[in-house]
Structure 1
């Protein structure tokens, strides 16, 4: 459960923006979408390897140039 304290005199739009940011950081929607359908463990591992190689490539490019 997310609790966003609204300060005295604070604009409701600003509090709503804080709520949305906090909600995105909890990755709740991502979990719900993943639970909708089953993915095989091999497919998940393959996706993790692809992501790891991509991140590694970005880091090496940053170091080189």
Structure 2
């Protein structure tokens, strides 16, 4: 019997990925199984990483954006208190 969570690595990368396996139970609708698949897929973060890799962002720009987000969040917290 094979392991439902198989791992594999791309030859040019050192990261290991787990395959997403969804077992459809008896009487379960395909829509419900698809919903479980989508939830598991979102948790892996593959799509988010793909979007980040499409356009390179310099570290200085990323740091600046992180600071802007942090300042914005702090302002929102101080307004609600």
Q: Secondary structure in 2 aligned to 1:2?
A: coil
Q: Which has the higher contact order (CA 8 A, sep 6+)?
A: 1
TM-score norm. by structure 2 comes to 0.65
What are structure 1's unaligned runs of at least 5 residues? none
Give the structure with the larger strand fraction.
2
TM-score norm. by structure 1 comes to 0.77
What are structure 2's unaligned runs of at least 5 residues? 1-18
> Which of 28, 35, 38 is equivalent to 2:56?
38
- Closer, same or farther: CA 10–37 of 1 in aligned 2, 3 Å: same
Report what 1:6 is aligned to.
24
After the TM superposition, list the runs of 4 or more consecutive aligned residues in structure 1 that deviate by more than 3 angstroms: none
- Closer, same or farther: CA 3–56 of 1 in aligned 2, 3 Å: farther
Aligned CA RMSD, in angstroms, stands at 1.5
